Amino acid sequence: MAERYFFVEGKCEQKLVKALQLPEPMLLPGKVEEINVIQEVISSSILGRIKENSQIVFIFDTDTAGNISVLNENIKRIKLFCRRPHLIMIPQVKNIEDELKRACKITHVTELTGSKHRTIKDFKTDFCAMRPEDIRTRLLQHHFDLEKLWSSVPDGSFSPVTNNGYRIKKGS
């Protein structure tokens, strides 16, 4: 395998992936770039940097309404521009907050950040402000279970997307 590229929906996903790649990694290493693959077409200049035989990981939310045409266009572009790509799809069911609630022993996602208010906006602001090391510590304090993260099957318009996130988890 040449390299691994993570295309993640937002800053929170970017921070989470980096936290899980720290020493004693839980995820296989790779370059992380913030691109929402269900809303934004990946540019030719970015695709041109991907080496032959690389893994390309798409991490995206499934709580948006219906149309997956941009996602399909990105899959088509990966196959067109990249030589022998290995595409890994990780649909977050429904979003990163739900994924973290499933993977940790918490009732509300703000328990991870200690956010002053129990709003998603406060969680995202606080989570994105944290260092990856601190995110990792907080996840472990809340009994983080890697096997539960990114393991759900999407429904609705995302049901044709196979979740194969297990392929980037260390030890899977």
CA angle 52, 57, 60 (to 5 degrees): 150
Averaged confidence pLDDT in the chain: 94
Q: Which CATH number, 2.60.40, 3.40.50, 1.10.10, 3.30.70, labels domain 4-168?
A: 3.40.50
pLDDT confidence of residue 10: 95
Q: Over 90: is that where the pLDDT of 65 sits? A: no
Q: Over 90: is that where the pLDDT of 71 sits? A: yes
pLDDT confidence of residue 64: 80
Q: Over 90: is that where the pLDDT of 171 sits? A: no
Say how far residue 77 (Cα) sits from the centre of its chain. 20
Structure confidence at residue 2 as a pLDDT band (50, 70, 90)? confident
- What proportion of the chain, given as a percentage, has pLDDT over 90? 89
pLDDT confidence of residue 67: 76
Contacts of 119 (CB under 8 A, 6+ apart): 110
Averaged pLDDT, 66-76: 91
Largest CA distance in the chain: 48
DSSP code of residue 106: -
User: Rounded to whole angstroms, what are the CA distances from 159 to 68, 77, 93, 125, 163?
Assistant: 11, 21, 11, 30, 9
Instruction: Identify whether the C-beta of residue 118 lies closer than 8 Å to the C-beta of residue 101.
Output: no
Residue boundaries of the structural domains of the chain: 4-168
Q: 101-119 pLDDT, tens per residue?
A: 999 999 999 999 998 888 9
Count of positions (residues) in the chain: 172
pLDDT confidence of residue 1: 59
Q: Of the candidates 38, 44, 50, which has an alpha carbon nearest to the alpha carbon of residue 5?
A: 50
pLDDT confidence of residue 172: 62
- Between 166 and 64, residue with greater pLDDT: 166
Instruction: Identify whether the C-beta of residue 104 lies closer than 8 Å to the C-beta of residue 117.
Output: no
Omega before 148 within 30 of 0, i.e. cis: no
